Structure 1
Amino acid sequence: MMNKLLLVFFGTLLLSLLSGCNLASPVEESAEPPLAGAKIGGTFTLTNQDGGKTSDSDFTGQYRIIYFGFTYCPDVCPVDLANLMNGLTLAEKAKPELAEKIQPLFISLDPERDGPEQLKQYVDNFHPRLIGLTGSLDDITAVAKKYLIIFNKRESPGFSEYLIDHSRQGYLFGPDGEPIALLPFDGTAQQVADEIMRWTT
């Protein structure tokens, strides 16, 4: 199953790159979004950082930025998430109307440690509107599969702490939940902002 998911994931990623996801190439206004038609995403109902339930349908009519990670991540997740949210902030400053049109989401891949309280403390560090989501391991596994995110708990003998190895993707989805583009979280915040504004205006 893991090998099958890897093939699907990398096939979709390659398709997106071939479809014009390279920021170095100018994209015409009429160009089709890089992930148009890709089978990524789907329905979910998870627990938010306030302990309530949040569903994908709550954001119908809004664009969504989605990043999967975990709060105990020592380096990669906070850097990626900060870059994505800094990019969103720059886009909102350039076009204030985007604040109502885009909802950022952080979905934890570590439900064992990431309860609502932990998530609330974490997401508050990145963006005032960022929603943190968690759930049972079965719930998270099902959502990750829909969004082509591969993750695995990595434990070391003799240590109680563990890490979560996972795919790194910053997704932009459209108002109907359709996949649009991969955001360049490993670029600059301005590149993230430019890509957001390219596909939401």
Structure 2
Amino acid sequence: MTRIIAPVAALVAALFIGGLLWVTQGGEDSAFAQCSATKIAGEGGQIGGPFELLNADGQTVTDADVITEPTLVYFGYTFCPDVCPLDTARNAEAVDVLAQRGMSVTPVFISVDPGRDTPEVVGDFAFNLHEKMVGLTGSPEQVDAASKAYRTYYNVHDTSDEFYLVDHSTFTYLMMPEIGFVEFFRRDVTADAMAERVGCFVENA
């Protein structure tokens, strides 16, 4: 199979999320106006929300358990051949840059492949990327509910093939405790640029 997952996923995600997000430069009338490089069409509360998933120990956790400090949330899967390792490594690097500046941020990886991504598999994947990264999975119903809450897209290919792929959107979301969604990051944002923007949100929260 030709691997065109990233471009296809990006296009589908853009169409799927279209009407909720669009890129612009600043201008939002809020406490974070100077921090944001994106603008939300409608209420920011449309992105994110309650979820119940399983952590690396197989324990049920909620969004309130996970988002206890500024948090970078990414949806992907551990068998992903290309974009997920790069995106999550970028997120982990941004967390380290922020730590050097005295800011604590949690990276979160939510699997959209519950058929293969058991709690143990997701936990190992996350920990190997960053000691702070939280890996989450769940039942198909739990994963679907979390994906819908964050307005993400994913499509699992024919699971009769053990090497099946999953198309998915590739945004990273910045969530703040008691505030919720404040910003999203595309794949082309570097770790340093992400850290700079996240740091602005943290300082102005």
TM-score interval, normalised by the smaller of the two chains: 0.7 to 0.9
Shift of 1:125: 1.7
| 2:80 matches 1:78 | no
CA contact 2:75–2:112 (8 Å) conserved in 1? yes
2:136 aligned partner: 133
Alignment partner of 2:111 out of 108, 128, 131: 108
The 3-state SS of whatever aligns with 2:142 is helix
Distance 1:29-1:173 versus aligned 2 partners, 3 A rule:
closer
C-alpha deviation, 1:135, in angstroms:
0.5
Does 1:20 find its partner at 2:29?
Answer: no
Amino acid at match of 1:172: L
The CA distance in 1 between the partners of 2:24 and 2:190, in whole Å, is 22
Please give the alpha-carbon distance, in whole angstroms, between the structure 2 residues aligned to 1:60 and 1:118: 21
Could you say what secondary structure the match of 2:165 adopts? strand
Deviates more, 1:121-130 or 1:58-67: 58-67
Moved more, 188-197 or 128-137: 188-197
SS in 2 for 1:186: coil
TM-score by length of 2: 0.80
Deviation at 1:91, TM superposition (A): 1.0
Shift of 1:8: 5.5
The alignment status of 1:118 with 2:121, answered yes or no, reads: yes
**How many equivalent pairs are there?**
184
Per the alignment, residue 24 of structure 1 pairs with none
CA deviation map 1:55-107 (0-9, x unaligned): 1112465222100000000111000100111011111112x2x22xx322110
Query: Aligned residues: percent identity?
Result: 32
CA distance in 1, matches of 2:129, 2:18: 29
For structure 2, list consecutive stretches of 5 or more residues without a partner in the other structure: 1-12
1:16-48 CA-to-partner distances (Å, cap 9, x unmatched) read: x13639xxxxxx975374456321000011100
Shift of 1:185: 3.9
Q: Distance in 1 between matches of 2:32 and 2:76?
A: 32
Equivalences for 1:137-156 in 2 at 5 Å? 137-155=140-158
TM-score normalised by L of structure 1: 0.82
1:25 maps to none
Give the corresponding residue for 1:10: 18
Structure 2 counterpart of 1:68: 75
Deviations 1:114-168 (A, max 9, x none): 0011112101121111110011101111110110111001239x84320000011
For the Cα contact (< 8 Å) 1:183–1:195, is it kept in 2?
Answer: no
Please give the secondary structure, in 2, of the residue aligned with 1:114.
Answer: coil
Structure 1, gaps ≥5 residues long: 22-27
Give me the CA root mean square deviation.
2.5
